[in-house]
Structure 1
Amino acid sequence: MILITGEALVDVVRRPDGTSSAHAGGSPANVAVGLGRLGLPVQLAATLADDEHGHLIRRHLASAGVELLDTLATPDRTASAVATLDGSGAASYDFDITWAPGRIVPTEPPQIVHTGSIASVLEPGADDVEDLVRRQAPTAVVTFDPNIRPSLVPDPARARQRVATLVQLADVVKVSDEDLAWLEPDLQVDDVAQRWLAAGPAAVVVTLGPQGSRTYTASGSLAVPTAAENVVDTVGAGDAFMSGLIGALVQEDLTGPSGSAELRAADLALWQRVSTVAARSAGIVVGRAGSQPPWREELFGPDD
């Protein structure tokens, strides 16, 4: 089982003509849906209220076969991110999110634990996330994507320390070059990736937008080009890259108690394979509107 921990929220778009639309989102929830669409057993530890937005998210998760961990604290209202568009199409954002799940206890021992984004740095729940990762790290492969939202970070120094701690605990870190520019503004991407790699992970995978990605390991680094052929929008691209990367680790049987050691012994050919799958997953998403991660047959083919 794969355990994803972090926020699920509703993205609401308000247009100048008074119309609006809402759809389920949140980076960890998007990753969970991506893995569910790959046919993998996945549980999401997120906090949802018993309200309209919560029901929308539950339906979205269920459509991909994602199980919602229902033992967490229930918030007064489901988190949301409201984007208000002006006449030129520019958006201003208003987040309404709290994160206080309490102690996170999976219903069965996970083989992979993934976390990141708002939930990994937002108090008080960030403590619960770190506690979970520390408890599960000895027996599960841990993946982490900081996916920083600077407007929701009241204490940048504290957030950077949170990220540094989770990097040390993780087996695989995926991070965008934009996040690195905020987290380590005085350093080059290569320098940060190498420093993070030395802190503990088996691999640090840096996504570079249209320039593809670069994966750093103890055996060296390698570049993987973007797989995007036709870009409609980039919504959910990073999350699809992450779910593709985790899905590829499962395909390679790099999970569970032995997974961490096996990842550290893996050669560059292995990382080339898994990074290529991740790029293909992101390439599929940017070719269609919104965060719509690929189904298993789209990513791995009908016979895999």
Structure 2
Amino acid sequence: MFVVVGEALVDLVGQRGSRTLVAHPGGSPANVALGLARLGDEVTLMTRLGRDALGEMVAAHLRAGGVHVESGTDRSTSTSLAIATLAAGIATYDFRIEWDIDALEPLPIETRCLHTGSLATALTPGSRNVEDLMEREQRRGRVTISYDPNVRPALLGSPHHARPGIERLVGLSDVVKVSDEDLLWLYPDRRDEDVAREWLGRGPALVVVTRGGRGVHAVTANLELRRPAQPIDLVDTVGAGDSFTSGLLDGLRRADLIGGSRRAALAAVDESTLLSVVDAAALVAAITCSRPGADPPTRTEVDAAADTARSSTTATAPLGGSRGIAPPGPELEQGRQR
């Protein structure tokens, strides 16, 4: 079972220059939970929702997708909002958000993976309880800990201020997924692949960098893997990075690489297995990019698309990273031993 901890909110999405906004359930951790459930995984989302119409809409949407929602005992405030403005399919965000969550109990015994990230690990007071949970679960060693910083510069202040906390959480994690855009903001003078290797040295078994239209870079102690983005008809990028994360975690589970007892196997994953997992995650993200909002695919949709994804000649789908859309260049390689 997966447990996801973090914000659930409403994305108000509009095209640049338009006064019309469309409401979509969202929030990075909530999107990951929904993506996992639609792929057939058992998942619980621990979050905070207001006792209002928007909160009910988000909860109903998640439950309809198969997510077990635990929204805490204090639901007296309004549901948070993220205002997403689209230009050429690429989203920029403005937030109206509060994040708090009750002290988190030890995870159920059947839990194999804890995922968190984004605003839940950055905004006080709730971030303190999330970090406490990560620390406790790392000491217990029973579950795989997954983290996506999903940086929101408007809420984090300066990179200098944000880096120590993010690096501390990287050190508590087994799997880290991050976008090149996040790394560019955090480390403007460094290459993303260099940061990925440094983060790997802080403790994770696997670090994956999504690079938008340039594909994916994944590193373990023994491997570096570079893969192109999946071609798709681009509608927008809302939820693309979260869909990739859910696809990545689902793929690792299917490869029997999730759970505290499988950490050594995860760190020693072979090239063909990692390639399969990363490509499947990229396909999940690509399908999400082909329709509006954070609307991740079902297992049936992924299976149906798998045979045709490679032959598509349409635009290359960003994977929660670089804002530009560009086809993969010749520098992309299947993988190499480190």
> Could you state the TM-score of these two structures normalised by the residue count of structure 2?
0.82
Q: 1:103 to 1:155 in 2, by over 3 A?
A: farther
What's the counterpart of residue 100 of structure 1? 100
Q: CA RMSD in A?
A: 2.5
Q: 1:269, 1:210 → 2: CA distance?
A: 22
Q: C-alpha displacement at 1:160, in angstroms?
A: 1.5
CA contact (8 A) 1:75 1:98 kept: no
Residue 12 (str. 1) matches residue 12 (str. 2):
yes
Aligned counterpart in structure 2 of residue 264 of structure 1, from 251, 264, 267: 267
Please tell me whether residue 201 in structure 1 is matched to residue 209 in structure 2: no
Q: Which residue of 2 aligns with 1:287?
A: 290
Match of 1:160 in 2: 163
CA deviation string 1:34-71 (max 9, x = no partner): 01101211011110011011001011101111011243
Report the residue type matching 2:188 in the other structure. P
* In structure 1, distance between residues paired with 2:90 and 2:197: 37
Q: 1:149 to 1:261 in 2, by over 3 A?
A: same
- Cα deviation for residue 77 of structure 1 reads 1.1
Aligned residues: 301
Distance (whole Å) between structure 2 residues aligned to residue 43 and residue 260 of structure 1: 22
Question: What are the ranges of 5 or more consecutive residues in structure 2 without an aligned counterpart?
Answer: 306-338
* Superposition pairs of residues 92-131 of structure 1, within 5 angstroms: 94-105=94-105, 108-109=108-109, 110-131=111-132
Out of 278, 281, 292, which is 1:278 matched to?
A: 281
Cα offset for 1:194?
0.8
Name the CA shift for 1:141/1:83 in 2 (closer, same or farther; >3 Å). Answer: closer
Structure 1 residues 168-206: Cα deviation after superposition (integer angstroms, max 9, x where no partner):
111111110000001111211121011001111111101
Matches for 1:1-304 after TM superposition, within 5 Å = 1-13=1-13, 19-71=20-72, 73-74=74-75, 76-83=77-84, 94-105=94-105, 108-109=108-109, 110-137=111-138, 138-154=141-157, 156-300=159-303
SS at match of 1:3: strand
Residue 162 of structure 2 aligns to a residue whose secondary structure is helix
**CA positional deviation for 1:291:** 1.6
Q: Percent identity?
A: 45
Secondary structure in structure 1 of the residue aligned to 2:10: strand
Given that 2:91 and 2:236 are in contact with CA atoms closer than 8 Å, whether structure 1 keeps it comes out as: no
TM-score (norm 1): 0.91
Aligned-pair distance for 1:93? 5.3
Q: Which whole-Å CA distance do the structure 2 matches of 1:107 and 1:139 have between them?
A: 10
Q: 1:89 to 1:176 in 2, by over 3 A?
A: closer
Distance in structure 1 (CA, Å) of the matches to 2:294 and 2:54: 17
Give the counterpart letter for 2:128 in structure 1: D
SS in 1 for 2:265: helix
Match of 2:198, as an amino acid? R
1:289, CA displacement in angstroms? 2.1
- Quick one: which amino acid aligns to residue 165 of structure 2? R
